[in-house]
Structure 1
Amino acid sequence: MDSRLRGNDEKTNITMEQAQVTQLLANDMLHRLERLRINASGRFTNRMRGEHLAAKGGSSMEFADYRDYVEGDDTRFIDWNIFSRLRKPYIKLFHHEEQMQIVILVDASSSMMVDGKLERAQQLAAAMCVCGLFAAEPVSVYTFNQPTNNLSMVGPATGRGSLHKLLKFVENIESGEGGSQPPDDAVDTMLKRHRGKGIVVMLSDFLTYGDLKRTFNTLNNAGLEIFACQILGERELDPDLTSDLRLVDCENADILDVTAQDNLLDLYHEYLSNFQNTIAALARQRGGKFLCVNSDEDLSAVLFDQMRREAWLV
């Protein structure tokens, strides 16, 4: 096996025995991720091309079918092999395939500081960057945290030589304090900068007062396939509710006093399940995917078992 992270720049040729490429992912994970791709379900625009050859950056064409030649067609699309046999001109038709844009949206709000959720989001964002760049797809990373319309971002970047730039940005993501930006506002701001169809990977706990339905509708209408990854800590997935508790909302400081009862934990699990089913339905109804990740789970198991089993990575 080639032990190098290959790139179009000598700076990217770092061996597994040399310096760690990023503090977020071990070098052996990076090498395994090189061979994986984000499993987008739709890449074709379903347009047939044959009348003219357009010089359009970031796109390619794949043969689809034939049709009869008519006056005015571009002769560059005539299949001359068929013409030599049948003495009749046919035009080759193509699917026009646009380059898939990969947008990674990282929630860095206050609630993500709990139980290592932000660190897990950074690790997954770094992994998606590797998969995208090594598939020669343009990759952008946006992060939102404060209740403003400002987003930090990097990209779109292409090529393996961009790996260090993207990883450094992801490493330096910091959580906001004193609030959060609703995801629908963050998406509105992001789409003012973003151009092109593809996928959006949302890394968030989705513990928000924002309108997730509007968020997903906006992304879907922009031609972005939704990969919604909910990141929760073990205490959120299975909390200890055996005594009276005072809960403090880390984003708006609201206080809720909870009295332990026999069925309290069951009610919590029921609510959590319903909440996750709602997010999953919102994503899947728009052709997207949903996945819940435990921030305490072994990272290798998440990337190479859970994400492959759920067909996020192939």
Structure 2
Amino acid sequence: MDAMSEEEFFDAGFLDKLRAMFLRLRKRKQLRRRGIQRSPSAGLTREFKDYRHYVRQDDYRSIDWRLYARLERMFVRLYEEVQEFHVHVIVDASASMAQPFGEKRRNALRLAVALSYLGLVSGHRVSLYAMRDRITGLLPAQKGQGNIQRMVEALRNLEFDGATRLRQGLASFRPGRQRYGVIFVLSDLIGQNPDLVDDAVRNMGGWPGESHLIHIFHPWEQSPELEGEVELVDVETGEGRKMWLTRQDLQRYTDSFNAYLRVAERACLSRQVDYLAWRTDGPFDEFFLELLGRGSVLAGKA
């Protein structure tokens, strides 16, 4: 499916809303610390922390000579080792994410922009990917909030087509180990039976860092309004099937769908992967804050 127009992608002031949400997070002390945080892990950098008086054993190269010129006393600069996170945002780009319910595509892209924005303004590196039968990069890793428009354009031009092979796709992903990874997979999980979901999540559980699976679905996919003779067509494969549906059939379908949600959640919990189901009729702001309030290092710690 073709790229989205800017009007379809964002309503007016969407980035302004993101900035407002970021400020709300700061006020709630979820972002009390900067994006560069203390960590004993790989990917360390140095960040200025404080001053103290110079003593004879100190390395003279650490003296702040500008401060000496002002105060005529010698101070050394103290640093702490800190860590930058690498945020990976993986968007399911299969046909079912865009057809017949474009809300799934729109919500996934908006969430990808929001996560990218939060990562960039917090000082992290951010990478974007598309997932079909494998995961491919959309842009090299970006850093600095000045790059948000580049990421917006990459997502806006992303084409949604073909089928997703969740297990193969996630198995192909190899996040680097130089920096702590914070990984978000945004998918509708269409076409995956429970056994395949468990296998796919097993790959996520082996990734270094923190992993999140965001399961996006339309209300109609949970409780379809159909009855009588219908023809259902798989938008990813083109296969169709005619059938007669009763209310009892629809109830059994809804029960099976809800059971599928529970299976996916249990599979994630058993692998220490955060799982969050998102119906597209839910408010974006509330969902985004709920996602970050679930303990992600991307939101900081209160």
Same fold (TM over 0.5): yes
Separation of aligned partners in 2, 1:206 and 1:185: 13
The 8 Å contact of residues 45 and 97 in structure 1, kept in 2 or not, is answered as: yes
CA deviations on 1:110-138 (whole Å, 9 max, x unpaired) are 11112121111100100101111111111
Aligned pairs for 1:155-304 (under 5 A) are 155-176=140-161, 179-191=162-174, 196-209=179-192, 211-304=196-289
CA gap of 1:128–1:308, structure 2 versus 1, over 3 A, is: closer
**CA 1:96 to 1:183, structure 2 compared with 1: closer, same or farther past 3 Å?**
farther
Shift of 1:275: 0.8
Structure 1 residues 70-118: Cα deviation after superposition (integer angstroms, max 9, x where no partner): xxxxx99xxxxxxxxxxxxxxxxxx976432211000010111121211
Distance, in Å, in 2 between the alignment partners of 1:222 and 1:33 is: 29
After superposition, the CA RMSD in angstroms is 3.6
Larger RCO of the pair (alpha carbons < 8 Å, separation 6+):
2
Matched, 1:307 2:295: no
CA distance in 1, matches of 2:267, 2:82: 27
User: Structure 1 pair 250/136, CA: closer, same or farther in 2 (3 Å)?
Assistant: same
Q: What one-letter code is carried by the residue in structure 2 that aligns with 1:29? A: K
Q: How far is 1:170 from its partner?
A: 1.4
TM-score (norm 1): 0.67
Mapped pair 1:111 → 2:96 = yes
Q: What's the offset of the Cα at 1:256?
A: 3.0
Indicate if the aligned counterparts of 2:88 and 2:129 stay in contact, CA closer than 8 A: yes
Are the structure 2 counterparts of residues 309 and 161 from structure 1 closer, same or farther at C-alpha, using a change threshold of 3 Å? closer
Greater helix proportion: 2
Where does residue 143 of structure 1 map in the other structure?
130
Alignment partner of 1:124 out of 111, 114, 121 = 111
Secondary structure at the aligned position of 2:172 is classed as helix
Name the count of aligned residue pairs. 251
Pair 1:290–1:44, CA change in 2 (3 A): farther
| TM-score of the superposed pair, with normalisation by structure 2 | 0.70
Structure 1: distance between partners of 2:93 and 2:177: 20
The answer as to whether partners of 1:233 and 1:296 remain within 8 angstroms in 2 is: yes
Structure 1 segments unaligned to the other structure (5+ residues): 1-19, 48-55, 62-74, 77-94
Q: What is the rounded CA distance, in whole Å, between the counterparts of 1:216 and 1:97 in structure 2?
A: 30
* Contiguous gaps of at least 5 residues in structure 2: 1-6, 32-36, 48-57, 60-79
After superposition, the C-alpha distances for 1:146-186 in whole angstroms (9 at most, x for unaligned) are: x4x4624213211212212212211211112xx32312322
1:296 offset after TM fit, Å?
Answer: 3.3
Please give the alpha-carbon distance, in whole angstroms, between the structure 1 residues aligned to 2:295 and 2:175.
30
Compared with structure 1, are the counterparts of its residues 309 and 224 closer, same or farther at alpha carbon in structure 2 (3 Å cutoff)?
closer
Change (3 A) 1:193 1:309: closer
Structure 2: distance between partners of 1:300 and 1:292: 15
Give the aligned residue type for 1:208. G
